[in-house]
Amino acid sequence: MVRISGGCLCGKIRYSSDAEPKFVSICHCRDCQRFTGSAFAVVVALPKAAVTITGALKGFAKPGDSGKAIERRFCPDCGTSVLDEAETVPGLLMIAAGTLDDASWVQPKSEIYCASAQPWVQFGAALALKSFAKVPG
C-alpha cells in the first residue's frame, strides 16, 4: 500500500498515514447520509495512532444506535466531511473516501445499515459485498 493522504476542499485540513486500512465499507445509516449529503458514506478505517492530521477539525458528537458516541469531524472553513470516530470501534478513524488524494484503490468489502439504504442504491450483489441490516456482530 502506498501512503494514504488527503484533505478537505479548501486544503486547510490534511491527513496522511502509512498504515493498511482495517476495513473499507459503505454505510447507509441516516446519519452518514446527512453527514455526507449523499445516499451513503464510503469509509476507510485506519488506526488512529497511525494517522497524522494537520489543521484543526471541528466536531459534532451524538449517540449512535449502540448508545455510544460517534463524532463527525469536518473542516470549519469549507465544511468538508473528513472523518468519523466511533466509541464502538476504539482506536480507529473512519476517513471519508472522497477526501483521499487518490481513491482509485478503494474497494469496499462490506456495507452496513442496509435497512436504511435508499431504495435506488443497491451494491451488494453487484460488488459481492457482505451486507448487514445494521452493524455486524
| Contact of 101 with 6, CB cutoff 8 Å | yes
Instruction: Give all domains of the chain, ordered by start, each with its CATH number.
Output: 4-131 (3.90.1590.10)
Q: Kindly report the pTM of this predicted structure.
A: 0.87
Residue 57: all three cell numbers together? 477539525
**75 near 83, Cβ under 8 Å?**
no
Comparing 26-30, 45-49, 78-82, the range with the smallest average pLDDT is 26-30
Given a cut of 60, whether residue 19 has pLDDT beyond it is: yes
pLDDT grade for 114, boundaries at 50, 70 and 90: confident
